[in-house]
């Protein structure tokens, strides 16, 4: 029920994100819109936002993994220099 106000306020910009998965999963805030499929009238803004958000999340996860892997080894290397 919390999605109704979210979709009303952010339509066209909203992104659903499923946290806690090992894969990144985002989706647009709209449904399938079968009634307008193939008519060339759909607004792709929310889809683009979902793709951009997925890329940002992937980048952040990758950066976090790089920064936190072998922390002790990195500290030893700093001391040796």
pLDDT at 11: 66
28-67 pLDDT per residue, tens: 877 777 888 889 988 888 889 999 999 999 999 999 998 8
Q: Round to whole Å and give the CA distance between 41 and 63.
A: 38
Q: Output the 3-class SS for the chain.
A: CCHHHHHHHHCCCCEEECCCCCCCCEEECCCCCHHHCCCCCCCCHHHHHHHHHHHHHHHHHHHHHHHHCCHHHHHHHHHHC
What's the pTM?
0.71
pLDDT at 1: 60
pLDDT at 29: 78
pLDDT at 26: 93
Q: Round to whole Å and give the CA distance between 41 and 74.
A: 54
């Amino acid at each position: 029920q919390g999605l109704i106000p979210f979709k009303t306020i952010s339509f066209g910009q909203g992104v659903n994100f499923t946290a806690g998965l090992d894969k990144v999963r985002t989706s647009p805030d709209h449904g399938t819109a079968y009634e307008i499929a193939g008519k060339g009238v759909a607004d792709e803004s929310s889809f683009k936002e979902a793709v951009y958000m997925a890329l940002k999340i992937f980048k952040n996860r990758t950066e976090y993994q790089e920064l936190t892997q072998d922390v002790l080894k990195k500290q030893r290397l700093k001391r040796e220099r």
